[in-house]
Each structure stands twice: as structure tokens, then as C-alpha cells.
């Protein structure tokens, strides 16, 4: 029944960290629900359970939380994808796994859709940075595929363009098939098939080389 010896539940620093995170998470949820445009400071602080003024002890301005949102959730998403994709997968199989992992993350974190795609408008710096990060990761992966001979006939700058097209595909497929709402959050199989087919044929060379035993 007595109080445990442990110090006050949180040190001052921990408490500050906690408040920061509460505000950030609240912002994520509000933006996810209402979009950046309607994510007022008052909604965010109300949800976070702090006073409006407190907000400005942790963020310089409303825009500043917005700028933190995508980096914060984007890292989560990348971690999720990385953890989901088996290390030994290569080529188109790896692509498929990444796509599935992305949509799985989206299904678990519905707020992420708006945080990500509205960021181009409301947090353009963060958005650009996020895409650079994604693209860089991708570049490494495709670079290794090139080295393994899985990909042929694309120059390095061309590969960058391809990467943006793949990221684009993700975005629009989630917009069209998930966010619009009938699918209940899951991507239909034929859509995954189409993606895999396009990428396999378009990017990855079948083992025997192009024109080999493809099909």
C-alpha cells in the first residue's frame, strides 16, 4: 500500500517529453481526422489535454507542429516497412512486400494518409524531405538490384525518376482504392497484381535476361 521508493513518477524532463508527445500525437490525430487546414491549435490542445498556451511552450507556431508531423510518422512507417520486409527478398518480390507493408501500415494508421499527402500543401519542406528520404532508401535498394543484375538498361538518373513513379503509384493507389473508402482499408489483390506486373516487366529483368524466358 505504501508508495514505492521510486522518485516522482516522472522527472521534470520526462514530463516535458510526455507533454510534447501528447501534443504531437494529438496533432497527428486531428490532422488525420480533419486535415491540416482545419487542425486548429485549440482542437489539438483540447485533445492533448493541455491549455492553449502550453502549445507554444513546445512549438513555436502551429506551422511548426505541422512540420514535425510527417518526419515523426514517416519514420514510424519506414521502420514498419523495414521490419515487415524479409531481408532475403529481392527483385519484384521485394517490391511486392514493400507495397503490402505500406498498405498494412496505412490500414493501421489511418491518420497517416492525410498527414502524408496533404503535407505537399501544408508542410512542403517536410514533404520534400520525406520524399528525399524515401527516394534515397530506394536508391540504395535499386542500386543493389542493379549490381545483382536484376535491373538492366536504366541509368542512375533514370532510376531516380522510376523511384518517383513508384512512390507516385503508392500514393494514387491508396487514394483511389483505399482512401475513397469502399475497400475497408485493404488493397484489392488485382491492384497488387497490376503493380507487381508493371514493375516486374518494366523494371526487373527475368533471370535469363530480357527476351529470355520471360512471361
Partner DNA sequence: AATGAATGAGAGTTCATTCAT
Partner DNA sequence: TATGAATGAACTCTCATTCAT
Kindly list the residues in this chain that would bind DNA in the complex (CB under 7 A): 8, 12, 15-16, 19, 38-43, 50-58, 60-63
DSSP designation for 86: -
* Nearest CA among 198, 200, 212 for reference residue 91: 200
Q: What's the closest the beta carbon of residue 17 comes to DNA, in angstroms?
A: 9
As measured in angstroms, the least distance from the Cβ of 63 to a second copy is: 12
Sign of CA dihedral 25, 44, 110, 73: negative
Tell me the closest approach of the beta carbon of residue 162 to a second copy, in angstroms.
5
Where on the chain is the footprint of a second copy (CB under 8 A)? 35, 37, 117-118, 120-122, 128, 131, 153-155, 157-159, 161-162, 164-165, 167-169, 171-173, 175-177, 180, 188, 190-191, 193-195, 197-203, 210-215
Closest CA to 113 of 181, 179, 169: 179
Show the CA angle centred on residue 45, arms to residues 129 and 56, nearest 5°: 65
Q: Closest CB to a second copy among 147 and 189? A: 189
CB of 109 to DNA, least distance (A): 23
Residue 4 contacts which entry, a second copy, DNA, none (Cβ below 5-8 A, type-dependent): none
Q: Which does 53 bind (CB under 5 to 8 A by kind): a second copy, DNA, none?
A: DNA
Sequence-separated (6 or more) residues with CB below 8 Å from residue 79: none
* Cβ at position 26, least distance to a second copy in Å: 21
Contact by Cβ (8 Å): 125, 67: yes
In DSSP terms, 204 is beta-bridged to 151
For residue 61, with 0-12 CB atoms within 10 Å meaning exposed, 13-18 middle and 19 or more buried, which class applies? exposed
Q: Which does 66 bind (CB under 5 to 8 A by kind): a second copy, DNA, none?
A: none
* Cβ distance to a second copy smaller for residue 66 or 87: 66
Phi, psi for residue 175 in degrees, rounded to 5: -60, -50
Choose from DNA, a second copy, none: what does 173 bind? Cβ within 5-8 Å by kind: a second copy
Amino acid at each position: 500500500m505504501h508508495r514505492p521508493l521510486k522518485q516522482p513518477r516522472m522527472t521534470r524532463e520526462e514530463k516535458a517529453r510526455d507533454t510534447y508527445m501528447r501534443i504531437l500525437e494529438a496533432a497527428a490525430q486531428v490532422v488525420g481526422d480533419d486535415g491540416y487546414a482545419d487542425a486548429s491549435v485549440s482542437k489539438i490542445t483540447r485533445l492533448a489535454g493541455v491549455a492553449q498556451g502550453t502549445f507554444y511552450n513546445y512549438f513555436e507556431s502551429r506551422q511548426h507542429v505541422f512540420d514535425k508531423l510527417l518526419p515523426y510518422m514517416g519514420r514510424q512507417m519506414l521502420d514498419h516497412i523495414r521490419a515487415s520486409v524479409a531481408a532475403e527478398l529481392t527483385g519484384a518480390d521485394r517490391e511486392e512486400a514493400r507495397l503490402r507493408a505500406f498498405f498494412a501500415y496505412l490500414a493501421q494508421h489511418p491518420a497517416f494518409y492525410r498527414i502524408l499527402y496533404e503535407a505537399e500543401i501544408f508542410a512542403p519542406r517536410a514533404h520534400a524531405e520525406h520524399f528525399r528520404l524515401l527516394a534515397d532508401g530506394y536508391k540504395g535498394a535499386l542500386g543493389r538490384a542493379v549490381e545483382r543484375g536484376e535491373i538492366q538498361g536504366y541509368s542512375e538518373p533514370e532510376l531516380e525518376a522510376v523511384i518517383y513513379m513508384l512512390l507516385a503509384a503508392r500514393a494514387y493507389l491508396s487514394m483511389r482504392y483505399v482512401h475513397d473508402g469502399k475497400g475497408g482499408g485493404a488493397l484489392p489483390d488485382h491492384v497488387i497484381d497490376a503493380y507487381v506486373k508493371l514493375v516486374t516487366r518494366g523494371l526487373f529483368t527475368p533471370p535469363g535476361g530480357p527476351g529470355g524466358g520471360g512471361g
